Amino acid sequence: MSVMTMVQAINNALDIKLAEDKSIVMYGEDVGVEGGVFRVTEGLQKKYGVERVFDSPLAESAIVGTGLGMAMSGLRPVVELQFDGFTYPAFNQIISNVSRMNNRTRGKYKVPMVIRFPYGGGINAVEHHSESPEALYGHIPGIKVVIPSTPHDAKGLMISAIESDDPVIFMEPKRIYRAIKQEVAEEKFTIPIGKAKVLTEGTDVTLIAFGAMIRECQKAMVMAAEAGISVELIDLRTIYPIDKETIRASIRKTGRVVIVAEAPQSFSVGSELIAIANEEAFLYLEAPPKRVMGFDTIVPYAKGEAFYMISPDRIFYELEKTVKF
């Protein structure tokens, strides 16, 4: 075991896979020499050479589109898009080709590729650097979308993503890239894609979140405990395929659900979770399901971001209202 940040844990996962499998290549903007703007790939070019870890020209559609070609011809590319808000030029390649090629060719060309990018707000970044587009990607048939919330999970999920024969979008909560340190096993391990985790068991209300919002939920739960509210916290870990079984079991048990996420709330993962609550646990509900999410606005620039970002006291405020309903 050694203490790692999420950046170090992902770097460690990439390192393990690069050492193990020569078909893995990594590239993107500033990924090689610099090791990425957040240093997630730091040291890997030195260790594995410029043919395997390298800087690509600055064009997101091409980073993803060429990765697709590599994945269809014997490689397992792990490509980086530099920020959430810069993934959109690659959207056509993702929705029109990456997600469809296996289906389009009736299984002849699989797409074992990972598209990773930092996402989310709360770091006073300039416009286009604070977005949470998980619903955009979760809505696309043919891909899987993964979001870790801890260094340990980031490592295990990243190794699973690289080993997946289906394309995986791996969203990294940049706000907690270095904010959490945790003991992480040094050897290889995997965490299954598609399985949520009950982080804390509770009886009064189910709280569902993922990524950087897990930590905010845990802070809110300290306030809830003081108020005598027993909260069951679920970390989704995978956006798609979403773990209905864990969600259903928890909501049936508590009868109440509060969902926390940074993205605009309409047509979101929160919307999907409420649909699941209604479809799978309708007769168990004792309060309306509640989304504590971003407004349907652009993430405000740094000066206004505090209004937008979900704070622990706001989560507690909604938890209490839901429990007292």
Give residues in contact with other proteins (CB under 8 A): 25, 51, 56-57, 59, 61-62, 64-75, 77, 89, 92-93, 96-97, 101-110, 141-142, 144, 164-166, 194, 240-242, 244-245
User: How far apart are CB 277 and other proteins at their closest, in Å?
Assistant: 15
Q: Write down the least CB distance from residue 165 to other proteins, Å.
A: 4
**Shortest Cβ distance from residue 29 to other proteins (Å)?**
13
Q: Cα separation of 236 and 228, whole Å?
A: 25
Q: Which is nearer to other proteins, 9 or 168 (CB)?
A: 168
Shortest CB 68 distance to other proteins, Å: 5
d(CA 41, CA 231) in angstroms, rounded, equals 37
Residue 33: CB atoms within 10 Å: 11
Q: What is the nearest approach in angstroms of other proteins to the Cβ of residue 252?
A: 17
Crossing angle of helices 213-226/312-324, nearest 10°? 50
By C-beta, is 108 or 303 nearer to other proteins?
A: 108
**Rounded least distance, CB 53 to other proteins, Å:** 12
Residue 152 falls in the annotated catalytic set: no
How far, in Å, CA of 52 to CA of 316, rounded? 47
Return the sign of the alpha-carbon dihedral for residues 264, 134, 40, 25.
negative
Q: Name the residue nearer to other proteins (CB basis): 6 or 145.
A: 145
> What is residue 223's DSSP assignment?
H
Looking at the Cβ atoms of 125 and 251, the one nearer to other proteins is 251
Give CA–CA dist 206/315, Å, rounded. Answer: 12
**Per DSSP, what are the bridge partners of residue 25?**
77
Q: Is 64 or 260 the residue whose CB approaches other proteins more closely?
A: 64
Per the residue annotation, which of 128, 129, 139, 152 is the catalytic one?
129
Q: Which is nearer to other proteins, 4 or 239 (CB)?
A: 239
Rounded to the nearest 10 degrees, how much is the dihedral formed by the CA atoms of 123, 124, 126, 132? 50
| Matching residue, tokens 């979770």 | 273
Strand blocks (E) in 237-304: 238-240, 257-264, 290-294
DSSP string, 137-179: HHTSTT-EEE--SSHHHHHHHHHHHHH-SS-EEEEEEGGGTTT
The catalytic site residues sit at 129
